[in-house]
């Protein structure tokens, strides 16, 4: 397929990445659900070393930090290809969430001391990190409402709070924690982001939260955490006090590109499985599923929706590269809810075409749907993005919602 957003650098790197994913990672998928997670980790560690040897490690980072200096638009296209092996691609190339967001955040805003202590081993793949923001007591769609506090006592912050959906906490070396440091400030200036090593006394991993019945392990998990009088140096703050909400927004702009292109890749994989089924499964003797107009409709709609999603996301990534995330926030909101719905529709169609088999672990479709149903919730529910986008559009027509409150 012709790539409208191709560059000379991308044309050189992308075929190498694609070959690696298809030859080294995709063959591992057939035993994914039967193989113990710890065994998968050992296999992927070997694959990670091969990625380093190929010079494809940390592709998302600037050259001065060991990356290739790819633009967000370039890396988005890499991310789609990595998602052709959705269980393994991002992790093998050291750009899985939430580490990719944490590395970008720390790289851009943290002190030299934090970079040396926490960022460098993260970039080398020696450790993993987690992101701790959402709280069960408050709506995750409103990050200004937090009960977790970080009270300064001398040269330390004392952190107390209850978090959940702390992504990838199982086995992580540190958490990036969103906590209130300035309770009397304006709502968007109350919180800060602070690094808390997971071996800090008072850091309590309560459990990995089951998602549709699957608890998960390692980087593929979401944890409930209690912070009980966790003491960390004041120097562990990222940026300055009160910057937490701004940092969250900085993190989420590129993060939504990463998520959306991952969903595009997953949708491509689902469509491939759908088509394979359509040309091999007989409805009756001599009549294949693919000959039925209903199935043809599934295929045509999926093809167009995937292509439309890709173009929307890459346009947004290109514009973020050019003018920054703040200037294109409506586009960011738009891709988040559009692409999240697209991947679920394509997965659902693929499951339907597989019939009863689609509900089982005979294919990866059911497991992918199980994992990706959260797409419409993570990083802001669809409804929040739609409302934000619509209000911003209506504001240009003269509607002032604030005056009506």
32-55: pLDDT as tens digits: 989 999 999 999 999 999 999 999
Per residue, what are the HEC states of 143-207?
CCCCCCEEEEECCEEEEEEEEEEEECCCCCCEEEEEEECCCCCCHHHCEEEEEEECCCCCEEEEE
285 and 389 part of one domain? yes
259 and 382 part of one domain? yes
2: in domain:
no
156 and 103 part of one domain? no
Residue where a domain stops, chosen among 196, 212, 238: 238
Nearest CA-CA partner of 98 in 163, 158, 149: 163
280 and 314 part of one domain? yes
179 and 83 part of one domain? no
| Token pair recorded at residue 397 | 């027509």
146: in domain:
yes
385 and 288 part of one domain? yes
Q: How is residue 96 annotated by DSSP?
A: -
Q: How is residue 120 annotated by DSSP?
A: H
Summarize pLDDT for 49-105 with one digit per residue, the tens: 999 999 999 998 888 877 888 999 999 999 999 999 999 999 999 999 999 999 989
Domain range for 171:
129-238
- In angstroms, what CA-CA distances link 211 with 217, 255, 367, 373, 385? 12, 21, 11, 10, 23
pTM of the model: 0.92
33: in domain:
yes
267 and 304 part of one domain? yes
Residue where a domain stops, chosen among 188, 205, 238: 238
Residue where a domain stops, chosen among 63, 91, 123: 123
51 and 76 part of one domain? yes
92: in domain:
yes
312 and 368 part of one domain? yes
56: in domain:
yes
pLDDT at 1 over 70: no
267: in domain:
yes
Summarize pLDDT for 50-66 with one digit per residue, the tens: 999 999 999 988 888 77
Burial 198-209 (b: 16+ CB within 10 A, else e): bebeebebeebe
255 and 219 part of one domain? no
1: in domain:
no
CATH code at position 183: 2.40.110.10
3: in domain:
no
Q: Which position has the token pair 């993190």?
A: 251
118 and 148 part of one domain? no
217 and 294 part of one domain? no
- The domain tally of the chain equals 3
- Mean pLDDT of the region 1-16: 83
């Amino acid at each position: 397929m012709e790539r409208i957003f191709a560059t000379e650098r991308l044309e050189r790197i992308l075929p190498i990445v694609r070959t690696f994913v298809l030859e080294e990672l995709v063959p591992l998928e057939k035993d994914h659900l039967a193989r113990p997670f710890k065994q998968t980790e050992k296999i992927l560690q070997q694959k990670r070393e091969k990625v380093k040897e190929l010079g494809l490690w940390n592709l998302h980072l600037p050259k001065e930090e060991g990356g290739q200096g790819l633009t967000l638009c370039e890396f988005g296209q890499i991310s789609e290809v990595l998602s052709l092996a959705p269980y393994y691609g991002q992790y093998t190339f050291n750009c899985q969430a939430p580490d990719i967001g944490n590395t970008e955040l720390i790289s851009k805003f943290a002190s030299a001391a934090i970079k040396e202590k926490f960022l460098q081993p993260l970039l080398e793949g020696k450790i993993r990190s987690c992101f701790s923001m959402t709280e069960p007591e408050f709506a995750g769609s409103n990050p200004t409402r937090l009960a977790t506090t970080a009270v300064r006592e001398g040269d330390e912050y004392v952190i107390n709070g209850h978090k959940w959906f702390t992504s990838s906490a199982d086995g992580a070396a540190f958490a990036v924690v969103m906590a209130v440091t300035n309770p009397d400030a304006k709502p968007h200036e109350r919180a800060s982001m602070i690094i808390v090593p997971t071996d800090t006394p008072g850091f309590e991993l309560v459990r990995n939260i089951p998602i549709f019945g699957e608890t998960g392990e390692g980087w593929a998990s979401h944890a409930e955490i209690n912070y009980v009088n966790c003491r960390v140096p004041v120097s562990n703050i990222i940026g300055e006090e009160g910057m937490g909400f701004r940092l969250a927004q900085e993190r989420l702009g590129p993060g939504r590109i990463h998520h959306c292109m991952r969903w595009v890749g997953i949708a491509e994989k689902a469509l491939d499985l759908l088509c394979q089924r359509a040309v091999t499964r007989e409805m009756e003797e001599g009549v294949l599923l693919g000959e039925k107009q209903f199935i043809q409709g599934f295929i045509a709609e999926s093809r167009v929706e995937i292509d439309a999603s890709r173009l929307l996301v890459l346009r947004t990534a290109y514009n973020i590269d050019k003018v920054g995330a703040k200037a294109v926030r409506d586009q960011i909101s738009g891709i988040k809810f559009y692409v999240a719905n697209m991947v679920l529709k394509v997965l659902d169609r693929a499951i339907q075409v597989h019939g009863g088999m689609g509900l089982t672990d005979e294919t990866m479709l059911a497991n992918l749907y199980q994992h990706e149903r959260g797409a419409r919730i993570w990083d802001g529910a669809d409804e929040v993005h739609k409302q934000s986008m619509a209000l911003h559009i209506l504001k240009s027509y003269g509607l002032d919602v604030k005056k009506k409150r």
